[in-house]
């Protein structure tokens, strides 16, 4: 639902100024803060030991220098500049180099409470002068103070302490620098003093917890004055590339889609889809019990992707790359050549090697480096061993959204337990999230076990509703034609028996047809002979009648002639005298 921009009660929302923000450059943090930290205001980063508070502050400075050309000042009250520089070298941060370029100032301020006389006259005026000079010398836009507890250890008087904290924050605002202040977490409060979180414009809480012997770091935006922000707890990682925050909530569903079709690698399976395959950039789930050839189906798809000249990333949680290549070779799926030419990359590791967030960030990094057209994860059900169902589902939602945004076709396999066979549901609960769901199952007959395949859903296209039996042969996967028996679809030995029965029926029908053809031919010959005899008899009778008729005509003609002769008058005879004797 969109607000009406011309609403008389609110006026034009476009005319209202938005809170200016400074992008942190930290992966994921700008997303949940909706743009970054408050520009020109202090942000408090608090947490227990080992949470990465100092690292977040340093990365905020380095990213600002490298990505946004904003010089920065790092003032530390615990570690020396040399120690900090050495600690972050492994992350690729060259603090001495940035100092030499005049873009970064490192200043270590040593504060020892035992050296401070409790006269009540100690304040931060000297710090303001020192910090102000560092800011002005390089035109700094960003400042990090690490950590504030050491700075205020010289204030035994709580009233003075509170006053100086407020003065420090106001002074930083007046300087117009975007500041990150780190603080240690207190007992029942966000900080030891319990005051910094109230005078800060933005408060970020870091937490490092251990659940089921697996360490997970969490980040939460406690408050953000003048801006909306993500309110959940977000996992974050400290990797060789710095800090990565992983938003739990999925991205907005506004990514582009493709109408291109990707083949499954099995022509008979493609024929079961209305568009002859999967949509490019869609997500495909193959579920089934153990031994139903889920990995073989996935490897067939991987080989088809590589055959067309595209890249495929295969993440295996159960088999090593060498074992996977060997096993698929036995069914005529040749993966070794694709691995050799770089079209196929197989990454294999046990899920327990890292936590869920670490796996997700590793996948993001590999995809960013390798840039595949398709990603296969076999199987996602193994992730249950490193997280509960809600955490696994959250991780997979983020992964599916990430792949969709990048138009990468995803294929997941999942093992379903015996109790879920009838329901055809996955333990991870992602079956409703994917675009295409293929179920493979055992079809048990009398004394045998067969495999069957069916399409439970395929968004955006029609699909077959039949259960197709398939075989894993030395030539790959072969889908068999549907055979209907008296009680429905038959498989295995029943299929063979039904085929033999149908062949016998066909042969019997053929023989019966041949017998009828022979009988018809015999009758035809008898009839033709009878017709010949009748024709001969008819000709004889006809000839006899013709002869009689001819004789009658001749007789009639003779009789008529004779009558004509008799009808003529006799000639007169003259009288002659008698001859003399």
**Residue-level pLDDT at 4:** 42
Q: Give the relative orientation of helices 321-329 and 294-307 as an angle to the nearest 10 degrees.
A: 90
CA angle (501, 503, 506) in 5-degree steps: 110
CA atoms within 13 Å, Cβ hemisphere of 429: 10
Q: Are 156 and 284 in the same domain?
A: no
User: What pLDDT, on a 0 to 100 scale, did the predictor assign at position 2?
Assistant: 39
Clarify whether residues 200 and 235 are in a common domain: yes
Residue 92 CB coordination number (10 Å): 10
Query: Closest Cα partner for 147 from 47, 242, 23?
Result: 47
On whether the pTM is more than 0.75, the answer is no
Element (H, E) at 98: helix 95-100
Of 221, 245, 269, which one is at a domain's C-terminal end?
A: 245
d(CA 172, CA 155): 20
Residue 201 belongs to some domain of the structure: yes
Kindly give the confidence (pLDDT) of every residue in the chain, 581 residues in length, as a single tens digit, with 9 standing for 90 and above.
334 444 444 444 445 678 899 999 888 898 889 899 999 999 999 988 888 899 999 999 999 999 999 999 999 888 888 888 888 888 888 899 999 999 999 988 876 555 444 444 556 788 888 899 999 999 999 999 988 877 766 556 666 777 777 888 889 899 999 999 998 887 767 776 666 777 788 999 998 877 666 677 889 999 999 888 888 888 888 877 788 887 654 455 677 888 999 999 999 999 999 999 999 999 999 999 888 999 999 999 999 999 999 999 999 988 999 999 999 999 999 999 999 999 999 998 887 777 677 788 788 888 988 999 999 998 888 887 776 777 788 788 888 888 888 899 999 999 887 544 444 445 556 778 899 999 998 877 666 788 889 999 999 999 998 888 898 998 899 988 765 555 555 555 565 666 666 778 888 888 889 889 888 998 888 988 889 888 888 888 888 888 888 888 888 888 888 887 777 766 655 555 555 54
Which among 85, 58, 83 is positioned nearest to 72, based on CA atoms?
58
How far is the C-alpha of 440 from the C-alpha of 262, rounded, in Å?
20
CA distance 394 to 212: 18
Question: What is the C-alpha to C-alpha distance for residues 280 and 310, in angstroms, rounded to an integer?
Answer: 12
Question: Are 497 and 370 in the same domain?
Answer: no
Cα–Cα distance, 384 to 373 (Å, whole number): 27
Instruction: Return the pLDDT at 395.
Output: 80
Q: Which residues pair with 488 in a beta bridge?
A: 485
CATH number for the domain spanning 80: value is: 3.40.50.300
Work out the end-to-end distance of the chain between its first and last CA atoms, rounded to an integer number of angstroms: 171
CA–CA distance, 383 with 352 (Å, rounded to integer): 8
Residues 362 and 465 grouped into a single domain: yes
Q: Exposed, middle or buried by CB within 10 Å (0-12, 13-18, 19+), for 76?
A: buried
Residue from 91, 31, 33 nearest 63 by CA: 91
Q: For the packed helices 389-405 and 356-370, what is the interaxial angle rounded to 10 degrees? A: 10
Does some domain include residue 556? no
- Asked if the structure places residue 536 within a domain, the reply is no
The residue segments making up the domain with residue 303 are: 261-476
Q: Could you say which of 515, 531, 564 is where a domain stops?
A: 515
| Burial zone of 126 (CB within 10 Å; 0-12 exposed, 13-18 middle, 19+ buried) | exposed
Do 158 and 279 belong to one domain?
no
Domain boundary among 245, 274, 292: 245
Residues 362, 388, single domain; the answer is yes
| Preceding omega of 379 cis (within 30 degrees of 0) | yes
CA separation for the pair 193, 162 (Å, rounded): 9
Same domain flag for 128 and 95: yes
Give yes or no: residues 163 and 47 share one domain: yes
Within a domain: 95? yes
Q: Quick check: 414 and 381 in contact, CB under 8 A?
A: yes
37 and 140 in one domain? yes
Whether 377 is in a domain gets the answer yes
| Same domain, yes or no: 281 and 390 | yes
- pLDDT for position 120: 46
**Domain contains 276:** yes
Does some domain include residue 580?
no
CA distance 126 to 164: 12
Angle, CA 431 vertex, CA 430 and CA 435 arms, to 5°:
105
> Within a 10 A sphere around the Cβ of 471, how many other Cβ atoms?
13
Whether residues 158 and 303 share a domain: the answer is no
Give the Cα-Cα-Cα angle 99, 103, 105 (nearest 5 degrees). Answer: 55
Same domain, 207 and 324: no
Whose CA is closest to 452, among 437, 444, 440? Answer: 440
* Number of domain units in the chain: 3
The DSSP element (H or E) to which 336 belongs, if any, is: helix 336-340
Tokens encoding 429: 């609960």
Residue 10: per-residue pLDDT? 45
In the chain, count of helices (H) and strands (E)?
15, 24
Q: Is 479 exposed, middle or buried (0-12, 13-18, 19+ CB in 10 A)?
A: middle
Q: Is residue 233 part of a domain?
A: yes
Residue 392, classed as helix, strand or coil, is: helix
């Amino acid at each position: 639902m969109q607000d009406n921009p011309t609403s008389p009660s609110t006026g034009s929302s476009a005319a209202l100024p938005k809170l200016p923000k400074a992008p942190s450059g930290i992966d994921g943090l700008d997303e949940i803060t909706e743009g970054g930290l408050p520009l020109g205001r202090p942000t408090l980063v608090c947490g227990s030991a080992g949470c990465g508070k100092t690292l977040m502050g340093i990365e905020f400075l380095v990213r600002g220098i490298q990505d946004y050309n904003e010089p920065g000042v790092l003032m530390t009250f615990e570690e020396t500049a040399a120690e900090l520089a050495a600690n972050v070298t492994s992350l690729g941060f060259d603090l001495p180099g940035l100092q030499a370029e005049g873009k970064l100032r490192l200043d270590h301020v040593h504060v020892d409470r035992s050296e401070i006389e409790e006269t009540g006259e100690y304040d931060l005026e000297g710090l303001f002068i020192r910090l102000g000079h560092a800011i002005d010398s390089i035109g700094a836009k960003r400042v990090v103070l690490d950590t504030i507890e050491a700075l205020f250890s010289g204030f035994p008087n709580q009233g003075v302490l509170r006053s100086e904290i407020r003065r420090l924050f106001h002074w930083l605002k007046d300087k117009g620098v975007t500041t990150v202040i780190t603080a240690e977490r207190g007992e029942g409060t966000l900080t030891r003093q319990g005051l910094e979180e109230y005078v800060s414009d933005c408060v970020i809480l870091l937490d490092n917890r251990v659940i089921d012997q697996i360490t997970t770091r969490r980040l939460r935006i406690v408050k953000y004055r003048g801006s909306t922000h993500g309110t959940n707890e977000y996992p974050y990682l400290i990797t060789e590339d710095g800090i990565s925050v992983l938003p739990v909530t999925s991205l907005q569903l506004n990514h582009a889609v493709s109408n291109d079709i990707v083949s499954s690698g099995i022509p008979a399976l493609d024929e079961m889809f209305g568009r002859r395959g999967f949509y490019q950039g869609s997500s495909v789930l193959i579920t089934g019990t153990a031994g139903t050839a889920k990995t073989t189906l996935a490897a067939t798809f991987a080989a088809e992707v590589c055959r067309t000249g595209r890249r495929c990333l295969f993440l295996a949680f159960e088999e090593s790359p060498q074992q996977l290549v060997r096993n698929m070779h036995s069914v005529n799926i040749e993966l070794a050549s694709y691995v050799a030419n770089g079209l196929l990359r197989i990454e294999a590791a046990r899920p327990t090697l890292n936590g869920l967030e670490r796996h997700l960030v590793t996948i993001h990094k590999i995809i960013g480096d390798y840039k595949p057209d398709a990603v296969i994860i076999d199987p996602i059900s193994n992730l249950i061993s490193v997280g509960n169902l809600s955490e696994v589902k959250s991780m997979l939602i983020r992964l599916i959204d990430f792949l969709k945004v990048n138009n990468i076709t995803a294929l997941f396999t999942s093992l379903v337990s015996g109790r879920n066979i009838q329901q055809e549901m996955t333990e991870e609960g992602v079956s409703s999230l994917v675009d295409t769901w293929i179920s493979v199952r055992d079809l048990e007959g009398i004394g045998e076990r067969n495999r069957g395949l069916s399409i439970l859903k395929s968004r955006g296209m029609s699909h077959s509703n039949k259960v197709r039996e398939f075989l894993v042969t030395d030539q790959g996967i072969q889908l068999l034609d549907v055979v209907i028996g008296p009680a429905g679809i038959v498989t295995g030995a029943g299929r063979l028996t039904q085929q033999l029965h149908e062949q016998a029926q066909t042969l019997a029908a053929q023989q019966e047809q041949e017998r009828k053809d022979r009988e018809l031919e015999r009758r035809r010959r008898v009839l033709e002979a009878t017709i010949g005899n009748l024709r001969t008899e008819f000709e004889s009778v006809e000839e006899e009648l013709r002869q009689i008729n001819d004789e009658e005509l001749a007789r009639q003609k003779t009789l008529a002639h004779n009558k004509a002769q008799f009808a003529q008058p006799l000639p007169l005879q003259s009288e002659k005298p008698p001859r003399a004797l």
